[in-house]
């Protein structure tokens, strides 16, 4: 008998008013039913936002160091339940245990890092232009924040958003992806156990076009933080713009790894394997383009194909598995559709390009890791985000051409260059149009204390993680204290 789950509103697990539900199934074995979750709508959103609005009046007055102490306890509890959460996450969304353990660890790291900011939520003091006057700036909370998160990092990404939001004194309505609602339940259970008061965090299950849209449009939601596709991000930005609502968008990527002729090829090989096929290519930072200098292209391509043939595909709960399934049937169909597009465009299929649906793969959404050669920069498979294990090889004849090709897409999230030339490395850091650049490392693997985000269609200029995230979740307030005992007029000509 499968378990039936509820929403979490104002400190209580409550049933949705609608009778509609959706199933959460294991993508490695769709016969494995994890649970049944409510399809929430506008009524549930109204309840959750009202609870968050009521709780904000109290939560904003809790000293930031005390809010940080609660988040520290959250980190301790995440560490205690790390293996349990990782096992459940692999069952829920398919990526291998090494990766889901890393996903939980990202949440742990974020909790500990953010908790310390409770004593470092710095403003500025500055001299006033007038005598006997004090000037400073402080951070203030915004209010109710809607957090709409994806399925590929069901612990890391919600914690990147939620923990800074809470530390700043905001309250939250959390709408996780339909494919990973169970991990969201575990996170909220831990937040509650750690001492987050009722109403401060509210969990709404449901579909983006229903619950998500209602959240974005609710007048009492002051901020929307969304991670997902560029198409949906544009819709959210449009709605928020009409209502002068703050919005933070972390959207797609079409990331590239450059390998120059002087690179360590063994290192570059391991980097592209991890970048292209880690999480089955289902990362916004995944390596989907491999830009190779013509002098080493044939050699590295041969090594890459030989190693890709040996990737073990299967259930991520098996410790020996190297690549799990795609998240669902629609994702697999999309990947396969792009493979057909690549063939039609004239790219040469070197390996993969096939659905795995027999034997041990019969009940899951598995796909062979796929590599195309003879790809040109203008092809759709080199321009559009596929979000699967598909890699396009593009040949270049110079460093300058490599940079031009890397910059030739609408996205600008992550990037990578392998070279032993320090001059090239620094020119790449300067000239690459991306929010993240790796030198002699793959395009994936962010750290929580550095800003995360990109340029162009990858987002709207905000950065998660690091210290920059507090510019999303707080308002700046300038404060002046005049102790002169007389009227002093600023912003007029005081010169004598």
C-alpha 209/C-alpha 447 separation (Å) is: 32
Q: Which of 99, 250, 385, 395 is the catalytic position?
A: 250
Judge contact between 132 and 482, C-beta under 8 A.
yes
Angle at 200 between CA 196 and CA 204, to 5 degrees: 110
Quote the CA–CA distance of 20 and 13 in Å, as a whole number: 17
CA–CA dist 14, 40 (Å, integer): 11
Cβ contact 33:25 at 8 Å: yes
117 is known as an active-site residue = no
Compute the distance between CA of residue 472 and CA of residue 485 in angstroms, rounded to an integer: 37
Can you say whether residue 428 is alpha, beta or left, with left for phi > 0 and alpha for psi between -120 and 50 degrees?
Answer: alpha
Task: Select which of 117, 168, 284, 385 is catalytic.
Answer: 284
For 2, 90, 145, 178, the CA distances from 364, given in Å and listed in that order, are 19, 13, 36, 18
Q: Tokens in use for 492?
A: 């007029």
**Cα gap 239→27, rounded to integer Å:** 33
Contact present, 171 and 53 (Cβ < 8 Å)? yes
Let me know if 240 is a catalytic residue.
no
Catalytic residues: 250, 284
């Amino acid at each position: 008998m499968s378990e039936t789950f509820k929403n979490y509103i104002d400190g209580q697990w409550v049933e949705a008013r609608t009778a509609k539900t959706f199933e959460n199934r294991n993508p490695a074995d769709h016969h494995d039913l994890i649970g049944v979750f409510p399809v929430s709508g506008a009524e549930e959103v109204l309840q959750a936002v009202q609870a968050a609005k009521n709780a904000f009046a109290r939560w904003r007055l809790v000293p930031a160091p005390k809010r940080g102490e609660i988040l520290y306890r959250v980190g301790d509890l995440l560490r205690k339940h790390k293996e349990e959460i990782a096992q459940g996450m692999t069952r829920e969304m398919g990526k291998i245990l090494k990766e889901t353990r890393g996903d939980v660890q990202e949440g742990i790291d974020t909790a500990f890092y953010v908790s310390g900011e409770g004593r470092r939520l710095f403003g500025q003091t500055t001299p006033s232009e007038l005598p006997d006057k004090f000037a400073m700036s402080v951070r203030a909370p915004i209010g109710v924040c809607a957090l709409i998160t994806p399925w590929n990092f069901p612990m890391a990404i919600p914690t990147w958003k939620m923990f800074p939001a809470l530390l700043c004194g905001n309250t939250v309505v959390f709408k996780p992806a339909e494919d990973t609602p169970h991990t969201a339940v575990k996170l909220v259970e831990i937040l509650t156990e750690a001492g987050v008061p009722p109403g401060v965090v509210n969990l709404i299950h449901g579909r983006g076009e229903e619950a998500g849209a209602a959240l974005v449009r609710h007048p009492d939601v002051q901020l929307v933080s969304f991670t997902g596709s560029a198409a949906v991000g544009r819709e959210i930005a449009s709605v928020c713009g009409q209502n002068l609502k703050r919005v933070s968008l972390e959207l797609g990527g079409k990331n590239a790894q450059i390998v120059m002729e002087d690179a360590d090829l063994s290192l570059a090989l391991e980097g592209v394997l991890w970048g292209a096929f880690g999480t089955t290519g289902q990362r916004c930072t995944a390596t989907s383009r491999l830009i190779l200098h013509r002098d080493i292209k044939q050699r590295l391509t041969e090594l890459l194909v030989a190693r890709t043939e040996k990737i073990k595909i299967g259930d991520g709960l098996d410790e020996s598995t190297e690549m799990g399934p795609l998240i669902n049937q629609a994702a697999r169909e999309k990947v396969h559709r792009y493979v057909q597009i690549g063939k039609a465009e004239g790219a040469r299929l070197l390996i993969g390009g096939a659905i795995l649906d027999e034997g041990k793969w019969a009940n899951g959404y598995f796909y062979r890791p796929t590599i195309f050669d003879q790809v040109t920069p203008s092809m759709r498979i080199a321009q559009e985000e596929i979000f699967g294990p598909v890699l396009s090889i593009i040949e270049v004849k110079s460093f300058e051409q490599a940079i031009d090709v890397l910059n030739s897409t609408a996205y600008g999230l992550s990037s990578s260059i392998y070279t032993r030339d320090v001059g090239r490395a620094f020119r790449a850091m300067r000239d690459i149009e991306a929010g993240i650049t790796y030198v002699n490392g793959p395009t994936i693997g962010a750290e929580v204390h550095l800003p995360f985000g990109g340029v162009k269609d990858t987002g709207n200029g905000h950065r998660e993680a690091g210290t920059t995230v507090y510019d999303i979740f707080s308002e700046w307030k300038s404060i002046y204290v005049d102790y002169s005992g007389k009227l002093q007029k600023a912003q007029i000509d005081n010169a004598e």
